[in-house]
Structure 1
């Protein structure tokens, strides 16, 4: 073993040990900030009354925070870095291609953070606020409750270029499966998590190619149910440049504010909004899972909870790593 290899091995063991010793835990703020979860839950509930679309927005915000690109010796997963604002010298994650104008719920995190800083200064990380807010958003839309393992620390790095690992809506089954596998999430986890598309809305630009530019002949995607495609065309008309508006949106589902298994039933009707949704029928294994979830909503929700807990621990910073941001929009 060369000296360089030995040093690398020791460093890896040290990092592994550090993460093991400072693992996330349920009830992390029980003594440090007893009202933390209540404060966050109240902010989510208050925002939901004014705008029910906040709930899916917060779930997506947490997902996009966790799915940034992995770099060796650089933990950049669920670390709150998606909340950091861009500066004159750095374009941050929130302004990366998959995010841009599509992120919602940032003000909920800001409000919760302000109250937490007033209650227990420098204690609750922005990354943990995101994890709790995502859980509370699922619960408020009818999903199952779960205890959130906490103790995440906030990252000091946020770069738009690192958002390239966030799964794109045009991916095929093999590609999206690999995207989740890169984060140590199984295909089973993936199918369960994509059920979150049962709530919320999407910008027309995320699936317009399926309507107008699917092939060189300009036909629509043949995997789209024709009546559904026609409805989408009415909601997402072409503009004078041949594209669609960057601001037009459609609901993801016929029950966009309720965590129910209708997403899976829609796939069998070829009413999946994204290619990455409809492609879930491209294997026998995923098709069986979808058929099961379509009729067994409680089983899906239980699997969804387990997958969310697993996802929320991707490359977290713990212990003395990172920092606790005083303001979620900037590094201390």
Structure 2
């Protein structure tokens, strides 16, 4: 009896020990590279600034890249792998994702100064942070310490959120990643900067119903403008701002547009169809919001940091790639 009790106690201790080891391995920390590569964050920031000088839209592109990386298997740089036809980046759900060259430039600079130290996954997270700040959004600190994953497969990106997803589908997909309805609203608000292609608008404008027609949630005032920019049978590669009137500045104008029927993307418009997501949007408006309401910028940062910790590999897991587009 005593022997059996000791075995049980030993098993419990092993489980507890393993639990805390698991927590410690999963921890990220602000300033992770302070000792091993002190200039890591400034190198990434300078690279993003240089890229934005020649292409202001790269800020939105880098923000989107971070989301797409984190959504599939966690924030492990798996979307960056480029030397395999079955690599994740070739998935249909990742079409239009870019910014890879900026990450590689930053990686090359870091490797020359601190070889084998800074992960590509961390570069992606830091670049997104810097992109938000350069677009006049909030400056915030990013916990780092991610390591790069060793798996990148197109099949793993099969359930990426899509612009045509219903609000219930979007909520379910985000919940599967540990993200709440509030996170869904705030991360969707990243559409405050950047553009989309008419390709993603065709069904919403002309085939919303089986027999044709437009999404009735689009403001009658806005519909002719969208159709003029994206005519039926026109060039589907024409691009338009996702945040009408404020497409180059990070602010909550996107949420105001969504409330008023001026959402460009169907997935953004659907946020007003659900009471939980609608109430989150409404909370950022009203006569007393500036004094007593929640801060959109602060909440966005919290959601970004939360997203940036999905499924991270730390400690001895994964690897630190020499180049971001290929495994070591």
Task: State the alpha-carbon separation in 1 of the partners of residues 62 and 160 from structure 2.
Answer: 16
Please report how far the alpha carbon of residue 283 of structure 1 lies from its aligned counterpart in structure 2 after TM superposition.
2.8
Task: State the alpha-carbon separation in 2 of the partners of residues 11 and 66 from structure 1.
Answer: 29
1:82 to 79, 83, 95: 79
1:50 to 54, 63, 67: 54
Indicate how the Cα distance of structure 1 residues 292 and 67 shifts in structure 2: closer, same or farther if over 3 A, else same.
same
Task: State the alpha-carbon separation in 2 of the partners of residues 168 and 275 from structure 1.
Answer: 9
Please report how far the alpha carbon of residue 323 of structure 1 lies from its aligned counterpart in structure 2 after TM superposition.
0.4
Moved more, 219-228 or 37-46: 219-228
1:287 aligns with 2:288: no
Find the counterpart in structure 2 of residue 93 from structure 1.
88
Find the counterpart in structure 2 of residue 64 from structure 1.
68
Find the counterpart in structure 2 of residue 212 from structure 1.
206
1:307 aligns with 2:272: no
Encode CA deviations 1:189-241: one digit per residue, 9 max, x unaligned: 111111111110112112210111111221111111133222122222233xx
1:185 to 179, 183, 188: 179
Structure 1 residue runs without a partner (length 5+): 1-6, 69-75
1:271 aligns with 2:268: no
Task: State the alpha-carbon separation in 2 of the partners of residues 33 and 149 from structure 1.
Answer: 15
C-alpha contact (below 8 Å) 1:261/1:294 kept by paired residues: no
**Secondary structure at 2:222 match in 1:** helix
Find the counterpart in structure 1 of residue 231 from structure 2.
237
Find the counterpart in structure 1 of residue 4 from structure 2.
none
Task: State the alpha-carbon separation in 2 of the partners of residues 18 and 268 from structure 1.
Answer: 42
1:31 aligns with 2:35: yes
Task: State the alpha-carbon separation in 1 of the partners of residues 111 and 303 from structure 2.
Answer: 30
Task: State the alpha-carbon separation in 2 of the partners of residues 218 and 86 from structure 1.
Answer: 41
Task: State the alpha-carbon separation in 2 of the partners of residues 224 and 22 from structure 1.
Answer: 43
Task: State the alpha-carbon separation in 2 of the partners of residues 227 and 315 from structure 1.
Answer: 43
Please report how far the alpha carbon of residue 20 of structure 1 lies from its aligned counterpart in structure 2 after TM superposition.
2.5
C-alpha contact (below 8 Å) 2:88/2:153 kept by paired residues: yes
Find the counterpart in structure 2 of residue 248 from structure 1.
238
Q: Given the two structures, how large is their TM-score scaled by the length of structure 2?
A: 0.89
Encode CA deviations 1:119-154: one digit per residue, 9 max, x unaligned: 000000000000000000001111111111110000
Q: Given the two structures, how large is their TM-score scaled by the length of structure 1?
A: 0.88
Please report how far the alpha carbon of residue 14 of structure 1 lies from its aligned counterpart in structure 2 after TM superposition.
4.3
1:197 aligns with 2:191: yes
Structure 2 residue runs without a partner (length 5+): 1-10
Matches within 5 A, 1:4-43: 14=18, 17-43=21-47
Please report how far the alpha carbon of residue 288 of structure 1 lies from its aligned counterpart in structure 2 after TM superposition.
2.5
Task: State the alpha-carbon separation in 1 of the partners of residues 181 and 162 from structure 2.
Answer: 16
Task: State the alpha-carbon separation in 2 of the partners of residues 177 and 13 from structure 1.
Answer: 35
1:150 aligns with 2:147: no
1:136 aligns with 2:127: no
Indicate how the Cα distance of structure 1 residues 154 and 50 shifts in structure 2: closer, same or farther if over 3 A, else same.
same
C-alpha contact (below 8 Å) 1:86/1:95 kept by paired residues: no
Indicate how the Cα distance of structure 1 residues 82 and 12 shifts in structure 2: closer, same or farther if over 3 A, else same.
farther
